Amino acid sequence: MGRAAITGFLLGVVLFLSAPSYALDETRADLRLSVSEDFVHARGAMVVSARYGGSWGARLGFWARESNAEPSKANFFVGIDHVWTYSKWRAGLGAVWIDKVNDLNGTHWDFDVSLGYDMSSQAFVEYRHHSHGRKLGISRDASNDGWNLIGIGLIF
C-alpha cells in the first residue's frame, strides 16, 4: 500500500507539472491575506497568513489564537508553493516550515495542500492542509494529525 500511494502521489505531481496543465493555468501575481481556523484536530486555532506571488509564491503566517488542545501550540510558519488557477478555482501544492513540532504536524517541514475559490476579484475562501505525509511513508514514527484550515481572505 505504501508504494502505491507514493507512486500515485508522484504521478499526480508529474501531471500537475506537465505542459498541458500550464496551458490551462490562469494564475496572476497578487497579495492574498487570509484568516483561517482549524476545524478538525485543533478546533479554535486561528491562523493569519499572507501569500505573495503568481503561479509560484511565498507564504508567511502565524497562529493568532491557539486551540485548547495543548500540544498543538505553534507560533509561525513560512513556505513556498505552486498554485494552478482555472476560472475562479485555485489548487496549490507546496512546503511549509513550522517553528514548533507537535502532535498535529509531527515535523518542522510539512506539505502544504490547498484548494480555494475566488468569490470576487477582492475576496476568496480556501481550505489548507499542512502535514508531513506519514501516509506516503515519510516519517512513519512521527505524529501526523495535520492542520486542517478553512478560511476567508482578501486579494490585493
pLDDT tens-digit map of 67-85: 665 555 788 999 999 999 9
| Cell digits of residue 101 | 513540532
- Residue spans of the domains in the chain: they are 2-155
Query: How confident is the model over 93-149, as pLDDT tens digits?
Result: 999 999 988 878 778 888 999 999 999 999 999 999 988 875 555 556 666 678 899
> What's the topology of domain 2-155?
Porin (2.40.160)
Longest dimension (CA), the chain: 45
Q: Look up the pTM and report it.
A: 0.77
d(CA 114, CA 112): 7
